[in-house]
Amino acid sequence: MTNRVILAYSGGLDTTVAIPYLKDMTDGEVVAVSIDVGQGGEDMESVRQRALDAGAVEAVVVDAKDEFAEEYCLPTIKANGLYMKQYPLVSALSRPLIVKHMTEAAKEFGGTHVAHGCTGKGNDQVRFEVGFANTAPDLKIIAPARDFAWTRDKAIAFAEEKGLPIEQSKSSPFSIDQNLFGRAIETGYLEDLWNAPTKDVYSYTEDPTLNFNSPDEVIISFEDGKPTAIDGKPVSVLEAIEEMNRRAGAQGIGRLDMVEDRLVGIKSREIYEAPGAIAIMIAHAALEDVTVERELARYKRQVEGKWAELVYDGLWFSPLKRALDTFIEESQKGVSGDIRMVMHAGNCNVNGRRSNTSLYDFNLATYDEGDTFDQTLARGFVELHGLSSKMAAKRDFNL
């Protein structure tokens, strides 16, 4: 039986070099699988052709933008999924989707191995390999960049020796991963924590300090936690993210500069741009404040952090992640209504909320005429609420 390696193919240096390398290593054939998750910047047909030119026997391009939006970005919006309370899981979200389509390709093309271009210092090796272990454990895994010490210089030299169709050079300063939900930038001079990002780092967002744009007021509508309309116009999740990428990005919203705790144990300086993700999550969280009961909201905030950690750590397919998905989905019943926000100069401020499922009662909340809150009940409530701590204080401090 001929070995067949199913390669997660991005079209970049490492995965292009991997095609002839894997052929030689396994004495087999390589099938390149490229997933369009809205990364933009290059025609996917040219990516497919590059894989064939590099020696792949088959090259598959999957348009997964709608799937990515509905099945990966939307759960993140509902979970308010921010790793370390900042990062909206841009790269982490696409990896389980890639795993899914690679395992499908392995079945279709008779794959015996799967391969990726990740190094041993990053998180993606974990996301891919744990994903394969959870979905197709019989497939053998090859990671050339990690397991065979492929440095960037070696990869470029190998590509030149083989005459491979690459555009990268030794002078390329950054490592960039981008998709519909955002953009991740690292390495180069950014590895010195004191160096500020320069304007060439950014692509999805305008400089918020320039202040040349007028404020943009937007209304985002949700049904059970799902964005369904922008300014009254019905949209799919994909369209909602694309529209808010454009509008929030024009206002410089969604730039992040953080030192991140990687799963492998090192700290890494990362620059992110996620204008649509951040703007939509701000609106979603504001609507939850109006529509989600207090104890459920408090517990969900604890779940959100754990959910984000599981996704970041490559445990998308894990039992705990699946269980938390069920909890989060239940919590979204009734998270319906409209949020109005003003976006300007890097800021996204909510200034209006309305919902038919609101738990806000004007007559209970008002301090003016029409107040229906019975304040005579408060005295006893306060005494009972503090009773246990009062008794402990008497004992501990001899009061």
Residue 270's SS3 state is: strand
For residue 79, CA distances in Å to 299, 305, 328 come to 12, 9, 6
Strands (E) in 24-174, as ranges, are 29-36, 58-63, 113-115, 140-142
Instruction: Look up 353 and say whether it is catalytic.
Output: no
For the annotated binding site for L-citrulline, the residues are 87, 123, 127, 175, 260, 272
Do residues 341 and 279 make contact, with C-beta atoms less than 8 angstroms apart?
Answer: yes
Which residues, in sequence order, are CB contacts of 175 under 8 Å at separation 6+? Answer: 185, 186, 187, 188
Do residues 179 and 94 make contact, with C-beta atoms less than 8 angstroms apart?
Answer: yes
Instruction: Look up 257 and say whether it is catalytic.
Output: no
For the annotated binding site for L-aspartate, the residues are 119, 123-124
What residues are paired with 29 via a beta bridge? 4
Question: How many Å apart are CA 349 and CA 326, to the nearest integer?
Answer: 30
For the annotated binding site for ATP, the residues are 8-16, 117
CA 359 from chain centre, in angstroms, equals 30
Instruction: Look up 4 and say whether it is catalytic.
Output: no
Do residues 218 and 247 make contact, with C-beta atoms less than 8 angstroms apart?
Answer: yes
Out of 124, 221, 247, 313, the active site residue is 124
Out of 36, 66, 146, 175, the active site residue is 175
Question: How many Å apart are CA 375 and CA 233, to the nearest integer?
Answer: 44
Exposed/middle/buried for residue 38 (C-beta within 10 Å: 0-12, 13-18, 19+): buried
Instruction: Look up 231 and say whether it is catalytic.
Output: no
Exposed/middle/buried for residue 60 (C-beta within 10 Å: 0-12, 13-18, 19+): buried
Do residues 75 and 328 make contact, with C-beta atoms less than 8 angstroms apart?
Answer: yes
Out of 4, 95, 247, 255, the active site residue is 95
Would you please indicate which residues are annotated as catalytic (active-site) residues? 14, 95, 124, 175
